Amino acid sequence: MIDKDFYKNIGPFSLDEIASKVDASVLGNGDKKILDIASLEDASETEISFYNSVKYRHHLEKTKAGVLVVDKSFKIKPENEYLVVDDPYVAIAKIASMFYPDCEYQSFYFDKDDLINSSEKPKKCSQNVFIHKSSRIGKNCEIGSFVKIGPGVTIGDNCLIGDNVSIYYAKISHNVKIFQGVKIGGEGFGFIAKKDFFKKIPQLGRVIIRENVQIGCNSTLDRGSIGDTIISKNTMIDNLVHIAHNVKIGENSIIAAMTGISGSTEIGKNAMIGGQVGISGHVRIGDNVKIAAKSGIMKDIPNNSNIGGYPAENLIDWHRGTIFIKKNR
């Protein structure tokens, strides 16, 4: 369910009401009340979700969504309820705007009445810091200059926040270090490409940062669209790393500088990712994977793999190929 600390839901809506907005056929009870939207893996019986790619079949098999938005080629199960549309991705974007009409108009304006009092700020808090009064900051935190912490944000105990950091739409655990210039909770780069225009996908998720995470200077972590961007515990992120919407990074992982991870990619535990690696969207990378610097990841990677090159392949095969090319120049 979408976090009410950050977004205002004007639902519920009946299935028939939703169908009329997205030109859908209803397979099920049109009077059924839908309370919210959610991702396949998080949806409950009172929520609507969507399925548009075989890459998410593993989530489809386990989903508890009360209604699914699917296309006309989907194999319908009679025991479930559906909205059938031409394009589920376009439809869910419209449904998101139905439930959350303000989601496309993010405000960065703070009135003086929106800020916490100086007496409520952490003891180690520098000058020119803007902290929204609805945010919550734990004990023993240190905050640098020109930091901005938005509405509803929570930050755990013993955290370090460097100069010029911005934090929105985020839940941050204990013992997290966020160095200078980091931007957390920005709007994800999510669009649906149509023939004559780009349809913006509403960004209704959060950034979740677990305990003992470190984030290097000038890195950016976008919030999720429907669902969250999640950084698991003990993960170390270098400078100038970009993590897009809905990315999930497993615990004890390390990511070197200038790496870019595209939206909805899932990375397992104990990953080691070299500098300037580019990872395509909707990719699943297993546990204990090592990726050489400047590699390009364009497909799923199984557990315990060592890979490199562009497009990335088994590291030994990549080295052999490089030697072969050099010998035959």
Q: Please give the average per-residue pLDDT across 172-180, as a whole number.
A: 98
Residue 121 in contact with residue 103, Cβ under 8 Å? no
* Res. 316 pLDDT band, cuts 50 70 90: confident
State yes or no: pLDDT of 289 exceeds 90.
yes
- Of the listed ranges 15-19, 40-44, 162-166, 286-290, the least confidently predicted one is 40-44
Confidence band for 1, pLDDT divided at 50, 70 and 90? low
Q: Indicate if the pLDDT at residue 263 is higher than 70.
A: yes
Decide if 228 contacts 243 (C-beta within 8 A).
Answer: no
245-255, pLDDT tens digit by residue? 999 999 999 99
Q: One of 132, 174, 245, 319 is an active-site residue; which one?
A: 245
Q: For the ranges 25-34, 163-172, 275-284, 310-319, which has the lowest average pLDDT? A: 310-319
pLDDT, the chain, mean = 92
Summarize pLDDT for 103-122 with one digit per residue, the tens. 766 677 777 777 777 667 88
Is residue 209's pLDDT more than 90?
yes
- pLDDT value at 205 more than 90: yes
245 among known catalytic residues: yes
**DSSP H stretches of helix in 143-215:** none
In this predicted structure, the answer to whether residue 123 has a pLDDT above a threshold of 90 is no
pLDDT at 200: 82
The mean pLDDT value for 3-8 works out to 92
Quick check: 159 and 138 in contact, CB under 8 A? yes
**pLDDT for the residue numbered 57:** 84
User: Which of 11-20, 28-37, 119-128, 181-190 comes out lowest in average pLDDT?
Assistant: 119-128
More confident: 233 or 77: 233
Q: Which two tokens stand for residue 215?
A: 């984030």
Label residue 194 by pLDDT band (50, 70, 90).
Answer: confident
Structure tokens at 224: 């999720």
The type of residue at 180 is Q
d(CA 190, CA 246) in angstroms, rounded, equals 10
Is pLDDT at 60 greater than 90 in this prediction? no
Asked whether 192 and 198 are in contact (CB, 8 A), the reply is yes
The pLDDT > 90 percentage for the chain reads: 73
In tens, the pLDDT along 18-57 reads: 999 999 999 999 999 999 999 999 999 999 999 988 878 8
Residues 6+ apart with CB under 8 A from 70: 50, 51, 52, 76, 82, 83, 84, 85, 88
Under 8 Å between Cβ of 242 and 229: no
pLDDT of residue 199: 79
Containing 323, the helix (H) or strand (E) segment is: helix 315-327
**113: which DSSP letter?**
G
Q: How many helices (H) and strands (E) does the chain have?
A: 4, 37
Angle at the Cα of 152 (from 146 to 154), degrees rounded to 5? 75
Is there a contact between 164 and 147 (Cβ–Cβ < 8 Å)?
A: yes
Q: How confident is the model at residue 244 (pLDDT cuts 50, 70, 90)?
A: very high
What the chain holds in terms of domains, given with CATH numbers, is 13-99 (3.40.1390.10), 169-321 (2.160.10.10)
Mean pLDDT in residue range 209-226: 97
CA-CA distance, 133 to 120, in Å (whole number)?
Answer: 9
